Structure 1
Amino acid sequence: MGATKFLKDVSTEMKRVSWPKRKELVRYTGVVIATVAFVAVYFAITDFGISELIRAILN
């Protein structure tokens, strides 16, 4: 009986959730993708810089 009650409670809670509208969802998705891209580029540049610095020190 515990699993059945749990699933009923989950169903009830999911109906209470305030889901974002499509326009908000698209905007939030764009923000997430832009942020991930920025962080990826930042770390790629940082990694390249540190690699070049280490290569210069060792040579």
Structure 2
Amino acid sequence: MYVSTDGQTWGTPVATGEFPNSIAAQRVNFTATPGRFVKFVGTSSLNGAVFGSAAELNVYGTR
């Protein structure tokens, strides 16, 4: 997970990790980071597929 203030400069990830092979909702918590844009980057896939997917992405935070 990356956070950016301008949508072009991403810096280092605010969170990294792996998701289990599950259809259950997954949660990624990270320290509050100022920004307007969030980018989720998948670096691998299930069973060597050439694609990945996310059905829904919700971002919660404080202002």
TM-score by length of 1: 0.17
Q: Which structure has the higher relative contact order (CA within 8 Å, separation 6+)? A: 2
More strand by share: 2
More helix by share: 1
**Which one has the largest radius of gyration?**
1
